[in-house]
Structure 1
Amino acid sequence: MGQRQSQPAAVDAASNTSISQSATSNAFEAKLNPPAEDARSHNFGQPIQPSDGKKNASKLLTDCTVQQRASLQCIEENYENKDVACAPFFEEYKKCRREEHERKLERNSRAF
């Protein structure tokens, strides 16, 4: 009644042999954590930069960088009370992003 059934071992399809659960997890961990000698060649999930030295544009390229950094700085300084203390910074950033979005929509509408 209270007996536990052991987990069936995984089966390697290529050789049709069973692999223990710990061997499977060790192989998975080895892929996640490359050995030290491979660490320099591993990109840690980041996009590979082109070899010509040019950087690709950021996904979020905005004109509101000043307002964004000011609001983030305020959050760092006033973490416990950020909603009240940083509200003016948040509003400035939202206003800038709203205006930027409107300019983008206008530019797109003129393109067609």
Structure 2
Amino acid sequence: MMLINRDHRKLWIGQLVSQTGDFVFSTTLALWIGTVLLAGRPYAPVAVSGLAVAVALATLLVGPPAGVFVARWDRRRVMMGADLVRAALTGALTAVSFLPDGTLPEGAVLTAVYATVFLATGAAPP
């Protein structure tokens, strides 16, 4: 019944595409860290699990305070702005991934990955 409403249908399809992209992004990051960035290192599984920690921290620390403000703001602007922020963060991390090996230390790349995941999760819709 709700998909009869054109605006609701567009929102639902947009969220479906966004969540699919989030799944692909998180899977790609886990594979990149575990098989490329830290290949053969004994601490690679711990580094991959850091992605889940970054998501959990963002959900717990950013979600409740942000919800107070977002509930009072224009939903359309908030969603579009959040998606633009998430796209910029993902683009910046993509640029980092294309740097030649050894340009940045592993710790700096991992920090960039965790910061991107934290901020992108904080800007994501619930």
- TM-score, normalization by structure 1: 0.29
Question: Which protein has the bigger helix share?
Answer: 2
Question: Which protein has the bigger strand share?
Answer: 1
- TM-score, normalization by structure 2: 0.27
The structure with more radius of gyration: 1
